[in-house]
A = this chain, B = another copy of it.
Amino acid sequence: MAVYTDVGEEELGAFLADYALGNLLSFKGIAEGVENTNYVLHTGAGYFILTLYEKRVAREDLPFFIGLMQHLAERGINCPQPVHRQNGDALGELAGRPAAIFTFLEGVSVRRPQVAHCAAVGRALAGLHLAGRDFKLHRKNALALEGWRALAASAGGRADKVMPGLAKLVEDELAHLARHWPSELPRGIVHADLFPDNVFFLGDQLSGLIDFYFACDDILAYDLAICLNAWCFETDGSYNVTKGKALLSGYFAGRGLSADELLTLPLLARGAALRFLLTRLVDWLDVPPGALVRPKDPMEYVKRLRFHQRIDHARDYGLAA
């Protein structure tokens, strides 16, 4: 959530000369995107988002991310669409970083999602999964089981500083997931980070999906399990079954789940909770002293993990019979 790279108007002007977007009218660095630097750009052709890719995003992944947004936008998904340079490329270089320009999406992210928002997200997620089916590029999920193990090792015994017993809880959960993680469920392109921050609404209407920089190939129902974690818990930690039902029904309207996917949903939800528990835990432990930004509390996801551990069947998430 920062402007890591300061861009001058001269170099931006030179960068824009390779596009057919008219004159530069204004640009402002925005506090959006954890991994990259983003600017709102106003040119003679309208409003756009300019993204500079910082080191945390691997350069070799950029064709996947940019190609995916292009692919999805062409199939009617409201996501940022890369703007092509006059030579046909979507990716250029600015201030020593890979950089691209995207269409500007209207809408605002909601801090406290309501039932209607959850239903809309379910529908949009199914739409994204269907639209991704014929995408030709691939990217491994760096935050799957193997990545979780690395994060757990990095936290190590320090996890107990957050909560006594947390290191053991993580270790046991990892062992359980490693034993039971499914290998036969339908796979495809997943967003992998479809939190309320990354979904725009105009009123109850979903107007856009953003931030595809965790997108990868993985189990489709795992993406749904991430959304259950991200959208259906209240701030007091309780699961809202009405929101869960809305999210699942919204998804089913676009893409049905097989019996195996339904059966595995609680396990996938445990994996999703552990994934966010671990990244938050490591961020929490690694925050430099005196930092202005307090990272998100990993304990939220300890609670969610424990909730999923007690779930026997997908119907407990609010699934209609």
Contacts and interface: CB of A to CB of B under 8 A. Distances in A.
A31 B3 contact: yes
Contacts of A110: 9-10
Contacts of A289: 290
A42 B105 CA distance: 11
A24 B109 CA distance: 11
A106 B8 CA distance: 16
A1, A26, A29, A202 interface centre (most CB from chain B within 10 Å) = A26
A311 interface: no
A310 interface: no
A254 interface: no
Interface string A199-220: 0101100000000000000000
Contacts of A34: none
Contact of A291 (B25, B30, B290): B290
Contact of A26 (B25, B26, B42, B108): B108
Tell me the interface secondary structure of chain A in the complex. loop
A29 B26 contact: no
Nearest to A3: B31
Interface residues of A, number: 37
Interface in A37-62: 40, 42, 47
17 contacts: A1-B3, A3-B31, A9-B108, A10-B111, A23-B203, A25-B107, A26-B105, A26-B200, A27-B108, A28-B40, A29-B30, A29-B31, A29-B32, A30-B40, A40-B40, A289-B290, A290-B290
Given A25-B106, A26-B105, 5 more contacts: A9-B108, A9-B111, A27-B108, A42-B47, A42-B106
A107 B28 contact: no
B112 A10 contact: yes
Nearest to A9: B108
